[in-house]
Every structure is written in C-alpha cells, then in structure tokens.
Amino acid sequence: MRIPGAVRTAITGVGWAVAGPGFDAATELARRGMRHKDRASRFALRAAERALEDAGLLGAAELGGAAVVLSSDFGNLDTVCDFVTTIATSNSSDISPMRVPHLSSQAPAAWVALQHGIRGPNLTLCNGAPGGLDAVAWACNLIAASRATSALVIGVEPDTPPVARLHAETAGVKWIDGAVGLVIEPVQHAVGRGARIRAEIAGYGKGDDERSALEAAGAAPTSRRLGSEPTARFGRCSGALGVVQCAMAVEQMDDVAVVAVSGPWAGESDETSVSALVLTPR
C-alpha cells in the first residue's frame, strides 16, 4: 500500500553517528551537553544534529511542530543493568537521580526533542529489526494526519558491555555502535523552501514474510532490494536496521526505486514479522 494520506513525503536530510572511521565516538560523545546522558542518547543527539544540518533545518523555528520517532531495542539496557547491580550489591540510595530518566526507553527521543525545541509527537519503537522501517512509516502517518509538520526519525543501538553480554549469550556476532537520523517532510513543503529531496517515500508494507511485506508495500519487480548491506557494513543493527537501510539507499539512489526490507532478507528477524519500504528517486 502507499503511505496513507494524500501528502507525499520525502527524506531531505541524513545524519550518521556510527563509531568507526569518520566518527570518533570518544570525542564526539564527550561534547558539551552530553554529561549525565547514556550512550544511546548521546549517539541519538549527534545523529539528529547532523540530519537536521543536512536538511538545512538546524535551529529552524519551524521544528516546533515536528515529531521525533526513534527505534531502538537495547538503548537503555546498560542503565537498567547498572541500576539492578547497584540495588543488588548496595542499596537504592547509591543511585544517581540524574540517571533515573534513562530507565525509560523513551529517554533518547526525549533528549533530542528538548535539544532542538521539537514539541510535536514523541515516540519510541522497540519491536526488533522491523522497527526502523516502522518508525519511518509512523513519521509519514503523523505528517499525513497533520499531527506533525515534519519528522526526525532516528535508529540507535549502543554497543555497551551489557549489550555485548546479551549478544554473546544469544550467539550474536558484531553489532552496530551508533545512530542514524533521517529528516522526513512533505514534498510540497521541501520544494517550497528549496530543500534537496534525497528520496521520496512511496510505499510501506508489513507481513508475516518477505513476500507479503513486499506486496503490501507495492514494490515493483524492477526495484533494487536493500537488505543485508547494513549488516555486512556495521554488524547486526536490530532496531536501527531500517533507518540505516534508508540512509544507505539515499547514498546509492539513482534512477531505480529501492526497497528496504527488514526481516529474513537482511538476516535479522524475530521470525514474527517483516517490514518493507519503497524509496523512489525525485
């Protein structure tokens, strides 16, 4: 199906904040304003800033009507584990009040909204590998329903010691350590302000398997599929997968539609659902 509503939406900004070449996490995550924030929130803030800058919206007053939609499965796991360990070995009085907000998986999205004066809907999805593409679809729905003027979509997964332990227990391999942000806005608005449209969002679908998800998204047989490339480049991406796929699709966009698929095709799935998103060149 096409994204509901008559409002055409597009990606106008992309921001990368992934540990590795081109992003020194030790330096970037220690910038002013990062104190007392967990690793996921720090990554999310850096990706958001870069995405807004790429879209030409950093510091724009119009962000007041925007939305933040974030996808992450392990974002605050380190905070939860630290609290449990502290209570088990000592007592609750040794817990810093400054860290309490990070017990909520919503904390990274909330920090992003506070940092950029975003007062629209603020959502966090925690539903596995399909969550990133679902977050893009949620953003488009909020815009189509006039609940938001634009949206900042972020996929973030930190590679912290508690996350590493969890992955080892489940025979995991290398995992991404970072965040990626997308700015999504109505095509008409982007054209009106002279923004560069990186790709249009043409369809979204969800199904029990890859075939049904592709059919629901209206993917053409000639579309180029983007599935496992992020996993090969960064390691398993979990909740950040769909957002990373979209960012990579924008980088590689030519004259052919690209279909991002989060599920078995990408090698990452909980075997319960698959999401697909169609991106077309402008």
- Fold (topology level) of 9-280: Peroxisomal Thiolase; Chain A, domain 1 (3.40.47)
Structure tokens at 54: 């790429």
pLDDT at 96: 75
Report the relative pairing of strands 9-18 and 199-207 from DSSP bridges.
Answer: antiparallel
CA 199, CA 197: separation in Å to the nearest integer?
6
pLDDT of residue 57: 97
Give the HSE-up count for residue 127: Cα atoms under 13 Å, Cβ half-sphere. 17
Neighbours of 112 (CB within 10 A): 25
pLDDT at residue 266 in the model: 59
Q: Among 223, 224, 241, which Cα is nearest to 232's? A: 241
Q: How confident is the model at residue 246, as a pLDDT?
A: 95
Model confidence, pTM: 0.91
> What pLDDT score does 150 carry?
98
Structure confidence at residue 216 (pLDDT): 92
pLDDT of residue 2: 47
Distances in whole angstroms, Cα of residue 178 to Cα of each of 90, 128, 155, 251, 253: 32, 16, 9, 18, 23
Query: Could you read off the pLDDT tens digit of each residue along the chain, which spans 282 residues?
Result: 445 456 899 999 999 999 998 899 999 999 988 888 899 999 999 999 999 999 999 999 999 999 999 999 999 888 888 778 777 787 777 677 777 777 788 999 999 999 999 999 999 999 888 999 999 999 999 999 999 999 999 999 999 888 888 877 666 667 899 999 999 999 999 999 999 999 999 999 999 888 889 899 999 888 888 877 888 899 889 999 999 999 999 988 887 788 888 865 556 655 668 899 999 998
Q: How many CA atoms lie within 13 A of 45 on its CB side?
A: 23
User: 15 in helix, strand or coil?
Assistant: strand
Contact 277, 204 (CB under 8 A): yes
